[in-house]
Structure 1
Amino acid sequence: MDELTGIGIRQLSYFAEVAEAGTVTAAAEQLHIAQPSLSQQIRALERRVGTPLFHRRPQGMELTDSGRVLLEGVQRAFAELTSAVAAARGLPRQALVGVCSGVPETVLRSAEAALHEHGPLHLSLERVSSQDQVGLLRRGDLAFGLLRLPVDRTALTVRVISDEPLGVVVGSAHRLAARTALTWDDLADQQLLWFPAGRAPGYASQVLAQLAEHGWSPVLVSVDHSSHTLFRHTLSGRSDLVALRPRHAVADDPGLAWRPVGPRAPRERLALTALRDGPWAKLIG
């Protein structure tokens, strides 16, 4: 414990806030303390640790290699301490879960059941894109993520919850709706209703690469269609527009038709994730 002498929780929380904010000024505003006082605390921590934790750049504070190592340890320690305090109180642990858009109810229930396998949890669900979940998990701001693969798995534990083939979705009046199954040649003259790729860049790149391998490189119509009503409205009445979705995206909507496409249709994989060295990883490992 000698290594911790003179280092307090408040000092470590100040350090983590500066690392997150990127500048002492922004961190001081968040913490509601004076900037000179915060700078003194950071310098005192560096003296106690025995090495610089930040590079002081004109544009702000950048973590050194030592600073990144310390930040990872602080995040794990704070997460463990939060969990331990909740357990000591005898209350169900509180866990914030990021959920990407388009997750069906059946998959969401499967994810919740998996998380309750090791004991009671109080889960709070928050809509967060797959891309943003990765950073929030590593910083300890999320306990779990429910996201689309692939993502950068560095420092993460991943458990696949759903693995479904993508099919073609069209409006019910579209000429392709009369077919029972489709080939890639059937889509040659079709545009593709797509989502803002920044939400899940790994998934977007993978699917588009697979389409190109099948000889289809469609014009993309990018729309924020997280609402099913908007999704259906965009497809209806268009003879040159299709979407790619798992079967559950259509369900029993009479205004839409889902048709399998092949050969070798791309797949959508949804997974539970947690920080590998964090206190929650064992619940999905």
Structure 2
Amino acid sequence: MVEEGHLTRAAERLGLRASSLSQQIIALERELDAALFVRTQAGMTPTAAALALLPHARRILEEAELGARAVRDTMGRPLRVGVTPGAPPAVLATLYAEAVEIDDLPAARQLDLLRRGALDAGLLALPEDVDGLRVAVVSERPLGVLVSDAHSLARLDEVGWEDLTGLDLLLYERKLAPGYHDRLLADCAAAGWRPAHVRTGPPRRSLFVAELRHGGDVVALRPREEPAEGLRWLPLREAPVVRHALVWDPAHESSERIAALV
């Protein structure tokens, strides 16, 4: 939290929901009988108590990592797992708890590395070309509408496909995850919605958020998540479901160890 200065960003980095991280901070403040952060519209500012605690907390984390590393050394090297933006927070938390090495990689890059033996496993949205790979579905979540909190849709409690008429869709470049990209557009067409334009959004989350907030009549279709500041997530009626899966080479020397992650 001290490093990020913002609850949502810190929670994403830890693979937690912002509400869960907030509750843990409040519980720690109660235990210490001291406020650790000043909460403002701009974010979270550490207090003198937090700054005094920080070096001790870092030492504890370093010792915990050394202990985990010592255990891993007896079991072999840590597994390297690729994850895509929008990966399920609960699954990310499980992977972090298993002390794997996490790499932020688009689906196409994950699949290339998996087939070259340069990545142990990948966490990605289906469908993609996973022929020859072992696939374990770990999450199924309905899509919803992510929109600026200043947009006219933000006043609704739920959105229908007809409410999206005339709006642009913000989406990543097709080459990053061609299978899911095409499926999403096909689902939109099947529901009767053809976006006015499909905008190619930047891969960096901060720029993606900025375009949603300030880009006018544009929405994104994402699973339910803790929205960034200035955005609102809305349920979508008759929403398609996005499935995330852990994929890996069944011939991998640690195949059973990878399977045990989920």
For the aligned pair, the TM-score class normalised by the smaller chain equals 0.5 to 0.7
What is the percent sequence identity of the aligned residues?
Answer: 37
Residue 274 of structure 1 aligns with an amino acid whose one-letter code is W
State yes or no: 1:223 paired with 2:201.
yes
Asked if 2 retains the 8 angstrom alpha-carbon contact of 1:174 and 1:238, the reply is no
Tell me the alpha carbon deviations over residues 66-87 of structure 1, each in whole angstroms, 9 at most, x when there is no partner. Answer: xxxxxxxxxxxxxxxxxxxxxx
User: Residue 180 in 1 paired to residue 157 in 2?
Assistant: yes
| Residue 281 (structure 1) aligned with residue 255 (structure 2) | yes
Unaligned runs of 5+ in 1: 1-88, 117-121
- 2:227–2:233 CA contact under 8 A, matched in 1: no
1:196-211, aligned counterparts within 5 Å?
196-211=173-188
Task: Indicate how the Cα distance of structure 1 residues 131 and 261 shifts in structure 2: closer, same or farther if over 3 A, else same.
Answer: same
For the pair shown, the structure with the greater C-alpha radius of gyration is: 1
- The aligned residue for residue 139 of structure 2 is 162
Cα offset, 1:237, TM superposition: 3.8
Give 1:252 shift.
Answer: 5.0
After TM superposition, give the deviation of residue 245 of structure 1 in Å.
Answer: 0.9
> In the alignment, which residue of structure 1 is the partner of 2:210?
233
Matches within 5 A, 1:95-174: 95-112=79-96, 116=98, 123-174=100-151
Distance 1:237 1:93, change over 3 A: closer
1:193–1:222 contact (8 Å) kept in structure 2: yes
Taking the aligned partners of 1:252 and 1:240, their CA distance within structure 2 comes to: 18
CA contact (8 A) 1:175 1:239 kept: no
Question: Could you tell me how far 1:260 is from its partner in structure 2?
Answer: 1.1
Do the aligned partners of 2:143 and 2:221 also contact (CA within 8 Å) in 1?
A: yes
The amino acid that maps onto 1:195 is: Y
1:246 is matched with which residue?
223
Q: 1:272 aligns with which of 230, 243, 246?
A: 246
Where in structure 1 do 4 or more consecutive aligned residues deviate above 6 Å?
none
More displaced 10-residue stretch of structure 1: 155-164 or 171-180:
155-164
